[in-house]
Amino acid sequence: QVQLVESGGGLVQAGGSLRLSCAASGRTFSSNAMGWFRQAPGKEREFVAAISRTGDTIYADSVKGRFTISRDSAKNTGHLQMNSLQPEDTAAYFCAARNGFLAVTTSSRYEYWGQGTQVTVSS
């Protein structure tokens, strides 16, 4: 059974940093794209960042320059480094993986999802 488990969420002050991790089990995703999405209360889930099999990355405009997505294929793990956090970044953050190798922004193209980790940024 494939599982994605996020960790690293928490409460941080505006301007602070957090590093989210996503540990995959049940199959290897070294040849597949991974992504991060977030969902704030009362809002739809939105794309944050994605990384392809070859390390190409794409970001939402709202996080470009502040967030960095990476992967450790040997450990079957993904990461999201979040710097200069702002209150509007407060949301549940979800790790996702897909059978394809290209990084994409559409959530429906990701077949595997974690249960999410909460990030709260205080002003």
Higher pLDDT, 28 or 92: 92
Tell me what the pLDDT averaged over the chain comes to: 96
Residue-by-residue DSSP string for 74-119:
GGTEEEEEE-S--GGG-EEEEEEE-SSSS--S-GGG--EE---EEE
Contact (CB, 8 A) for 121 and 85: yes
Q: Are the CB atoms for 115 and 6 separated by under 8 Å?
A: yes
pLDDT in tens, 4-59: 999 999 999 999 999 999 999 988 888 899 999 999 999 999 999 999 999 999 99
pLDDT tens per residue across span 40-50: 999 999 999 99
Over residues 114-120, mean pLDDT: 98
Distance CA 55, CA 39 (A): 25
